[in-house]
Amino acid sequence: MLRNALLLFVCIAGCKGYRTQGFKEPMKLGGKEIPASVLTEGERSYVLHCRACHGDKGDGKGPAAAGVRPPPRDFTLGSFKFAAVSGGTLPNDDDFLRIVRFGLHGTAMRAWDGVPETNLVSIIHYLKTFSARWKDEEPGEAIIPTPDPWQAKEAAAVDRGKAIYHATAQCLGCHPAYASKQYIYEITQQLKGKGTVSFREDMYGSELTRSEYGVKLLPPDFTRTELRSVRLDHQLEDLYRVIVSGVGGTAMPTWRGALPEEDLWALVYFVDSLVKLKGTDAPRVLRARWQASNSTWTPPPPAK
């Protein structure tokens, strides 16, 4: 009942005192000419469903935005986090539809799966009018998952992914480590050759990173954090998308082309194995074991 009352308040806040302007001419957005009738319908639907949080100007400063954490997306930036394109490029319409239909976990962006697709498509085209990027650029090339090379070899995939995570890709620079110092040192020597290995003071916690959104962001701990755009029934597919595409406007880079596909999929399986530990006592037990091991281990002296 409280949720229904909140939604009613948001709808009232979104519509009160606002009059749509309508469009007289078509606009070229993202390389496509969008009819004025579609943009007008998009504006009307945006006011009904989106304005309360995202605001009149699409800047994330709607009447209901003040109490929303994380803050609503500012569409005027033309920067988006969870698209299946290389980080920094514009998303495709399918990316918008996925996000709007299923929402973003851990945020006020609810799933709008009850809104007809024609309305969603018109909203998507309308919100592009808030940023000049859509007038000058086209969406990035869609990143589609390659065939999974680790099917029926999940345990081997997790082992390989653990090595890639801690040594080759150095994910533990921002995300937590999920291994002992000895393992990380030895696997780094094995995969990258001789050299020193440094450890963050809080190696089992996340490191605050910069973003384009005016705030610092805390990369997820995969054993604890509810991942924003990963759906339970599409978990491997969505993890592949996020890892390979990167997260636009953040420190999470695009890994497509930086690692072989076999290693990218191995990373997917390793992160998936961590996500499956969420809600259990296993992460606490494992961290205690790694910390105990670290207290008695010292790196060997450099080779002469």
Residues 258-298 pLDDT 10s: 999 999 999 999 999 999 999 999 999 999 999 999 999 99
The pLDDT tens digits of the residues spanning 202-211 come to: 999 999 999 9
pLDDT digits (tens, 9 = 90+) for 189-233: 999 987 778 999 999 999 999 998 888 899 999 999 999 999 999
- Mean pLDDT of the 43-67 span: 95
* 3-state SS string for 91-155: CCHHHHHHHHHHCCCCCCCCCCCCCCHHHHHHHHHHHHHHCCHHHHCCCCCCCCCCCCCCCCCHH
Percent of the chain with pLDDT over 90: 83
pLDDT digits (tens, 9 = 90+) for 59-109: 999 999 998 888 999 999 999 999 999 988 999 999 999 999 999 999 999
* Right CATH for 2-136 from 2.30.29, 1.10.760, 1.10.10, 2.60.40: 1.10.760
Q: What would the two tokens of residue 203 be?
A: 């190696």
The pLDDT score that the predictor gives to residue 2 is 38
What pLDDT is recorded for position 34?
98
Could you report the per-residue pLDDT of 125-182, keeping only the tens digit for each?
A: 999 999 999 999 999 999 999 999 999 999 999 999 999 999 999 999 999 999 999 9
Query: Which of 174, 167, 171, 173 lies closest to 195 in space, CA to CA?
Result: 167
Q: Is the pLDDT at 19 greater than 80, yes or no?
A: no
This model's pTM is above 0.85: yes
The three-class DSSP label of residue 271 is helix
State the first-to-last Cα distance of the chain, in angstroms, to the nearest integer. 71
- Give domain limits for the chain: 2-136, 154-295
